[in-house]
Amino acid sequence: MSSARATRWSLPALCAALLACQPPAADRAMPPKQLYFPSGMFFAQPEPISAPRSGALFVASSNFDRRYDDGRMTGIDISALSCSVAPAGSCLPDFPANVMSRYPDGNDFPLESLGDGAIDEKVLASLAGEMDGIETTGGVFRLLVPSRAENSLLQVMDATGHRITCRGEGATDDCSVGAIPLEANRTTTSGVPRVPAPFSVSISRPDGDAFVTSLQFADSPAATGQNPAVFTVKLNALNPQVTDDSFINLGNIRSQSVAMGSRYAFMTGAQGLALRLIDRQSAKRVINAAIELDFNLLETRGLALAGDQSEVFVAARSPDALLQLHVRGAATDTPSFSLAHAELLPLGASQVRVMDKPSGGHVAFVTSLGSQSFDAVGQTQGSLVVYDDEAAQQVAILDGFGLQPYGLALQPIPPGVRLYVGLFGEGRIAVVDIPDLDRPEDARLVARLGTSHVCVTNPSSRGCAALNP
């Protein structure tokens, strides 16, 4: 692989130029069945798991460069893509797919679109971040999606199967209509509390408590640059109401990603507050985990909490590393942390997910954006890292399979898992199978969903000349 360049994408970067971007003057709708800079992802699988092919994948297209008027939420019926119902050569192989077998047309990864299966599409505000969902009743999922565009919206929708219903007042096919504006106080005298640039949301199960993070401080009064404060928002996903009492002051250091525990919301950040805990029983109580005492880092990105809350896995930047932290007292007044292991990662460590192994221990999955450079055959340095905490090392690394892997959604299929990896830089989804979590080193790329948008965003890219004469 080629050496990394200093310049690279940073999806949640606090870039004034990005936030200042305005939509195009003329109406320009995103093409149908197109993913465009996918960011948030969620796999809705009703409990109990009824069949390996059950469930729906939801993908938030962020419209990162504001090429189109709006972003989009896409719901994909995974069962409709199964090779048992879809035509050979345009289907998603059943789990666990054998990477060595070929389709009749000789193509290993034939899905160069979202297939002919059932999909649903609804409009979102641009610059969507990390989303989450919770099953409510009768297999219906409530989804929350924050967007950093105008008014810093928190969009609420319900999903039945792959079908999406926008829950905002007056909304039909546009989920930004009637969404919750997290910057409504900007026009007040004080300008606070508010959450500019909301980025990540996590929902506690089964009670529905949720927190939303913020990539920017709120100044007071607004637009003065004075009295900076970073707020988070606490609400309930099942009855999403936001008042001034919903905002919690976290100081002046931004929050990044969030993961919900039984007692605390875990949030990543930067500059001495790389991991904070917000007490859900007393939301004004904020605890600094002080992980910088054990590992020198600049900032943290994604994180995931093990199901038993015994470990938390945190993606660090500068250096890029996965931090495995032992957690004690995760449901008590005095939680404590100790660094168990630090695993160096490829450039651009981003999202983290974790699953329990059938035999004990945990497997963590980390996406790394990589750089914008290419190797001799046009592959990129973006990676998916599979880390086994019992082995205390990465046991598999997939690279060169797509541009800027970022979002992650998991479909548990015991004893294994199917991963959906959002390729932020090319508008597709990579599908990765691990047949048995006790053997996570057997991770394999089995398909890609969607049509690459590289020739739209960069017509001079290799292979685009014929499409753009």
DSSP result, 305-356: E-TTSSEEEEEEETTTEEEEEEEE-TTSSS-EEEEEEEEE--SSEEEEEEEE
Asked if residues 141 and 148 have their Cβ atoms less than 8 Å apart, the reply is no
**Cα-trace Rg, the chain:** 21
DSSP letter string over 264-284?
Answer: EEEEEEETTEEEEEEESSSTT
pLDDT per residue over 381-403, tens digit each? Answer: 689 999 999 999 999 999 888 89
**pLDDT on residue 16:** 36
What amino acid is encoded at 114 in this protein? Answer: L
Tokens of 364: 């963590």
Asked whether the predicted pLDDT for residue 14 surpasses 50, the reply is no
Tokens of 409: 């959604």
Asked if residues 355 and 363 have their Cβ atoms less than 8 Å apart, the reply is yes
Tokens of 210: 């949720």
Token pair 């007292």: residue? 329
pLDDT band at 51 (very low <50, low <70, confident <90, very high): low
**pLDDT on residue 50:** 58
Question: Residue range 173-194: average pLDDT?
Answer: 97
Tokens of 339: 């660094």
pLDDT per residue over 432-467, tens digit each? Answer: 999 999 999 999 998 888 888 988 988 887 778 655
Q: pTM for the complete prediction?
A: 0.91
* Residue 452: CA count within 13 A, CB half-sphere: 18
pLDDT per residue over 231-252, tens digit each? Answer: 999 999 999 999 999 999 999 9
How far is C-alpha 206 from the geometric centre of its chain's CA atoms?
Answer: 21
Question: Residue range 95-107: average pLDDT?
Answer: 56
**pLDDT on residue 20:** 41
Instruction: State how far the alpha carbon of 103 is from the alpha carbons of 93, 107, 110, 445, in Å.
Output: 9, 6, 8, 14
Instruction: State how far the alpha carbon of 207 is from the alpha carbons of 125, 136, 213, in Å.
Output: 27, 10, 19
Closest CA to 150 of 305, 22, 241: 22
